Structure 1
Amino acid sequence: MASITEYKGGYRAFVTVNGKRKTKTFDKRREAQEWVAHTEVGMRREADKPEGSRHTVLEMLQRYTAEVTVKKEGARPEMMRIKAFLRNFPALASKTLEAVRTPDLAAWRDARLAGFTMDDGTKVDAVSSASVLRDINWLRNAFKIAREEWHWTEGNPFMGLRMPQEPPPRDRRISPYAEVRPLVRHLGYRTGVAPETKSQEVALAFLIALRSAMRAGEILSLGAANINMAKRVVTVEHKMQYLTGRMRSIPLTRHAARLLRPIAGREKCFTVSSASLDTLFRKARDQLAVGRPALREIHFHDTRAEALTRLSRKVDVMTLAKISGHKDLSILQNTYYRETAEDIAARL
C-alpha cells in the first residue's frame, strides 16, 4: 500500500508492506512517485525472502541482549562476552542467520582456543576450553530463541558441532589454619566485631562463605530485610531467578549466624562492591603468597565447595542440594564435593 500527501509545501510519501512502513518527504510529486514505486518493489521483494535471510547474527544478538541477557543475574559479564564476540568476529556477526553453518562455528571455536590475529593486526589471545564453553552456551541459546520463539530461522548450526573438552573440576581445598587464619588476620578482621573497613568486610564475607556455601554476590546482598536471625534463614536473589521466578532461602549454620549477628541489623550488611571484594581478596592472597606459592591457587569461589564438602559430613545429599540450590546432583558431586579418597579412607 502506498500514498502521497501534501506536506509543508512539498510531498510526503508512505509505503506499507506486511505491516512495515517507510516514509520520506520530497519537493516534487514526481520524485515522490518514483521513490514509492522503487521502494514498494524492494519491500515486497524483501518480504518474500525467508526470515533467516533477513536477519543477521548481529541483529539476533542485539535483540537477545535487550530481551534475555538483561534479565539475568550475570547480565554484565554476558554482555561483555557478546560485545567481544561482535568486535572480534565481525565477518561472522554480519552473516545472515540462514548463512551460518556448522563449519563457521567450528572455525570460531578453534580460533578462540588457539588465538588469532584480526585484520587490523590486533592479536587476540587463546582462551581456555571452559571460557569457550561459556560462550557456546549463550550463543546456542540465542540461536534457539531466534528459531523457536522469534521464528527468525529454521536451521540449527550447532547440530553436529563438537564441544571442547571440559577441563577437570577444581579439587582445591582450603586449610582453616594454614590459609584461612592468615588471610583473615592480614585483612584486619577481628571475630565478633563489626567490620569498619572494606578489607575487614572482605574477611567477614570470606568466613561467612566458608560457613554457609553462599556465593559472594549473595553475601553482599544481605541486609536486615532478608535476614531472619530467629529462624537462621536468609532469602536472596540468585543467578537463575530469571528462570525460576523465586528467591532462594538459605539455612544458616550456627557459626554463620554468629558471624552475621554484629551486622544483621544493618540495612545493608556490606558496603564493599563485588569488584572491590575480588580485588582486595586477590591482593591480600598474593601478598601472603610470597614464600607460600600454594596460596595463589585459592579463589574466593572455592569457599563454596569447601563449605559444601564440610556440610556433606552432617547432612544427606538431598539436604545438601537444598542448601546449595543445585537441581543437578551431578554438578554437586563432581564440582563442589572435594573430599579426597584419603579423607574418605581416614573416616572409614
Structure 2
Amino acid sequence: MASIRPHKNGYRVEVCVRGQRDSQVLRTHREAKAWGSARETELLERAAKTPAELHTIREAFEKYRDEVSCHKEGARHEALRLNAFVRDFPRLAALTLAEFDTPHLAEWRDARLEKVQPASVNRDVNLIRNVFTKARKEWKWMEHKPFDGLDLPPDGPPRDRRIHPWKEVRPILRALGYVSGQEPRTKQQEVALAWLVGMRSCMRAAEILRLGSDTLSMKTGVARVKHKMQYVTKRPRVIPLPRRALRLLRVVQHREQCFTVDSASLDTLFRRARDSLMIQNLHFHDSRAEALTRLAREVDVLTLSKISGIRDVKLLLETYYRETPEQIAARIAKPAAASRRPAQ
C-alpha cells in the first residue's frame, strides 16, 4: 500500500512493489492517494510481465550499440545500420521483443530488397541476429528465435573484376600524381601508394592505413595491425609481407605513421580519380583480390590463407581468386609447349 506523508509542497507519496520503488510530491492528499493507487497497479502489472514484454526492439538495438558495438573496430558502421533500422522502420522498432517474430523480419527483408542488393540485406541480417542472440543468451530479454524459418536472399555471384595493369593501374596512378620511388607528399599520392601496397600485400585499406613504426618491421617483413575481430581474439593480425610490398613501403618506413590520409578521404580520392578516367566498376578493395590472385601462382594455399587472414578456403577460392578459366588455360599450356621443343 502507498505511504503518504506531509511535505512542504503538499504530500509525498511512496510506493514499493517487489523491490521497485517510486515517489511523487503532489498538492493534495486526494491527488497523492490517487497517484499512489494508480502507480502501484502499474508496477504490479509490470512485475507480472516477462522481460520480452517489457523491452522493445529499439531498446535492444540501442543497448547493443552502446554496450557491444562500441568495442568493435566497425562500431561506427554497426551504429549506422542499427540506427537506420529504428529510423526507417519505426513501427517495427516500437514492437516489444515478445511481439516481434519471423513475419516482421520478412516484412523488413522484403522492404530492404526493394532498395539494396541481397548482400547488403544479409550483412544486416547477421548484425540483427547478433543482437537477438545477445538478448537471449546474456541479457535474458527473450526466449524465442525470430530468425527461425526466415528465408534469406541468396547472395549474388561473387565479383570477378580484375585490374588491368596498363589500362587502369597506370592511368589511375598518373591521375593521383604518383611518382615511383619517391615519398608521397600529397594525400592523392598516399592513396596511390596505398593502392599499390594493397595489390602487392593482400591487405585491406584499414590495415594499410594503420602501418607505422610500431606496426611495421621492415627487418622481419612482418606487419602487426589491429583488425575488426580483435575484440574477440585479443590479438592483432600478423601479416607476412611479400618482397614487392616491402619495396613500395621503403619510402615511408621512416614515418611514425606511414599514411596520414584517413579512410573516408582515401575512398573519396580514389573514386574521384577513377571517375575522372571513366573507369567502370572498380573498387579500392579489388586490390586485395588482385593481390591474392597473383600470389596464388607463387605460394601454396595454406601460405596464401596465412597472408590474407582468410581461413575459409571456399571463400578464398570463390570470392578472392579471380583468374578466369581462359587465363588458367593459357598459363598451363605454356610449360606443355616448352616441353615439346627439340633439345639443342
Q: What's the TM-score, normalizing by structure 2? A: 0.91
Which of 301, 311, 325 pairs up with 1:317?
Answer: 301
1:333 aligns with 2:322: no
1:175 aligns with 2:159: no
Shift of 1:227: 1.0
Q: Runs of at least 4 residues of structure 1 off by over 6 A?
A: none
What is the letter of the counterpart of residue 116 of structure 2? V
How many corresponding residue pairs? 332
Shift of 1:148: 1.3
Match of 2:228 in 1: 239
Q: Secondary structure at the match of 1:174?
A: coil
User: Which residues of structure 2 form unaligned runs of 5+?
Assistant: 333-344
Match of 1:186 in 2: 175
Shift of 1:302: 0.3
Q: Deviations over 1:51-88 (max 9, x none)?
A: 21111111111111111221221121221111211111
Q: Deviations over 1:106-134 (max 9, x none)?
A: 111111112xxxxxxxxxxx111111111
Match of 2:38 in 1: 38
Match of 1:97 in 2: 97
| Separation in structure 2 between the aligned mates of residue 48 and residue 23 of structure 1, nearest angstrom | 20
| Separation in structure 2 between the aligned mates of residue 31 and residue 66 of structure 1, nearest angstrom | 39
| Separation in structure 2 between the aligned mates of residue 326 and residue 5 of structure 1, nearest angstrom | 68
Match of 1:26 in 2: 26
Cα gap change, 1:2/1:347 in structure 2, threshold over 3 Å: closer, same or farther?
farther
Q: Deviations over 1:179-228 (max 9, x none)?
A: 11111121111111111111001000000000111111111111111111
Cα gap change, 1:252/1:10 in structure 2, threshold over 3 Å: closer, same or farther?
same
Shift of 1:170: 0.1
Report the more deviating stretch, 313-322 or 298-307. Answer: 313-322
Q: Cα RMSD over matched residues?
A: 1.7
1:306 aligns with 2:295: no
| Separation in structure 1 between the aligned mates of residue 14 and residue 202 of structure 2, nearest angstrom | 61
Shift of 1:172: 0.5
Checking the alignment, whether the CA contact within 8 Å between 2:2 and 2:33 is kept in structure 1 is no
Match of 2:342 in 1: none
Checking the alignment, whether the CA contact within 8 Å between 2:9 and 2:26 is kept in structure 1 is no
What is the letter of the counterpart of residue 36 of structure 1? G
What is the letter of the counterpart of residue 232 of structure 2? L
Q: Secondary structure at the match of 2:223?
A: strand
1:286 aligns with 2:275: yes
Match of 2:82 in 1: 82
Match of 1:122 in 2: none
Larger Rg: 2
Shift of 1:142: 0.9
Cα gap change, 1:266/1:3 in structure 2, threshold over 3 Å: closer, same or farther?
farther
Cα gap change, 1:50/1:179 in structure 2, threshold over 3 Å: closer, same or farther?
same
1:160 aligns with 2:149: yes
What is the letter of the counterpart of residue 98 of structure 2? E
Cα gap change, 1:33/1:112 in structure 2, threshold over 3 Å: closer, same or farther?
same
Cα gap change, 1:8/1:209 in structure 2, threshold over 3 Å: closer, same or farther?
farther
| Separation in structure 2 between the aligned mates of residue 223 and residue 8 of structure 1, nearest angstrom | 66
Counterparts of 1:183-222 in structure 2, within 5 Å, are: 183-222=172-211
Q: Percent identity?
A: 55
Shift of 1:100: 1.2
Shift of 1:50: 1.7
Shift of 1:312: 1.3
| Separation in structure 2 between the aligned mates of residue 64 and residue 11 of structure 1, nearest angstrom | 40
Shift of 1:171: 0.4
Q: Deviations over 1:262-320 (max 9, x none)?
A: 2112121111111111111011011112xxxxx22110000011111111112111111
Q: Secondary structure at the match of 1:152?
A: coil
Which of 257, 260, 263 pairs up with 1:268?
Answer: 257
Match of 1:144 in 2: 133
| Separation in structure 1 between the aligned mates of residue 163 and residue 123 of structure 2, nearest angstrom | 26
Match of 2:339 in 1: none
